[in-house]
Amino acid sequence: MVATLLHLPISPWSERARWVLDHHGFAHTRVEHVPVIGERKLRRLVGRRDGPATVPVLIDGDLVIADSWEIARHVERLGSGAPLLPEGRLDEVRRWTAVADAAMQSGRAMAIAAMLRDPAALDASMPPPMPGWVRRLLRPVNRQAMQWFARKYGLSLADLAPHAAQQREGLEAVRAGLAASSPYLLGSFSYADIAAATLLQGVQPVADDLVPFDPATRAAWTQPALVREYADLLSWRDELYKKHRRRST
């Protein structure tokens, strides 16, 4: 039986899972999760009654794996290709993953706040088959859904300064790590690099042929000041994609 990945296309955590699955040539199909609408189904799937139920989720036979890190460990054991979790360095990989998680959580808060300010981005977040006039009519409902999404992840949008500081802290850590062992955080390509690369989605998303974004959503996820300040990291991320982002068939 072929595994199934439940994912959110624009989510950096889902992109980590897709990257790992593709790197290891792990056969799978993909099903897109729709926030709010698919919440009840997701909770049943992962067996969560309290706390956030999140994607990505990998369903492999009887196993339901609801975390990008655990997906990486599972696929590493069963897939092919070069290791992403090098033996003896798991703690280092986990540390870089935690750095990326904290910074990207703040990046997600910044993106949600930007989407709430932009009606076009709100409209774009609705399911694709919905016509434009319905999207405009349902903006108030979608605004509430976006605020619910922020609460689900415990994101306070009242003061964005702490989020901006958390992002910069993570980006500075990655910059320092690469200065010490460029072009890879551990000296060779690993999951640590994937986590750091996906962190940069909250600065400026990768090209649409890699992770598609509509223009309004792309603008909401892009922070021009950080783009200028961390142009070196964005160039590193883009080069990493060119060298190591194997595309799924």
pLDDT tens-digit series, residues 201-245: 999 999 999 999 999 999 999 999 999 999 999 999 999 999 999
Whether the pLDDT of residue 21 is over 80: the answer is: yes
CATH of 3-78, one of 3.20.20.150, 3.40.50.1220, 3.40.30.10, 3.40.50.2300: 3.40.30.10
> Comparing 137 with 63, which gets the higher pLDDT?
63
pLDDT digits (tens, 9 = 90+) for 136-184: 888 888 888 889 888 888 899 999 999 999 999 999 999 999 999 889 9
Instruction: Tell me the pLDDT tens digit for each residue of 81-127.
Output: 999 999 999 999 999 999 999 999 999 999 999 999 999 998 888 77
Q: Among candidates 57, 70, 79, which has minimal Cα distance to 7?
A: 57
What is the structure's pLDDT at 92?
Answer: 98
State the pairing for strand pair 3-7/63-65. Answer: unpaired
pLDDT range class, residue 51, cuts 50, 70, 90: low
Q: Give the pLDDT band (50/70/90) at residue 248.
A: low
For residue 48, pLDDT over 70 is answered with no
Q: What's the rounded mean pLDDT across residues 45-54?
A: 71
CB 142 within 8 A of CB 122: yes
Our CA dihedral for 50, 56, 59, 65, rounded to 10 degrees, sits at -60
Whether 169 contacts 202, CB under 8 Å: no
Q: Model confidence at 131, in pLDDT bands (50, 70, 90)?
A: confident
pTM passes above 0.75:
yes
Angle value at C-alpha 153, between 101 and 212, nearest 5 degrees: 65
pLDDT band of residue 36 (cuts 50, 70, 90) is confident
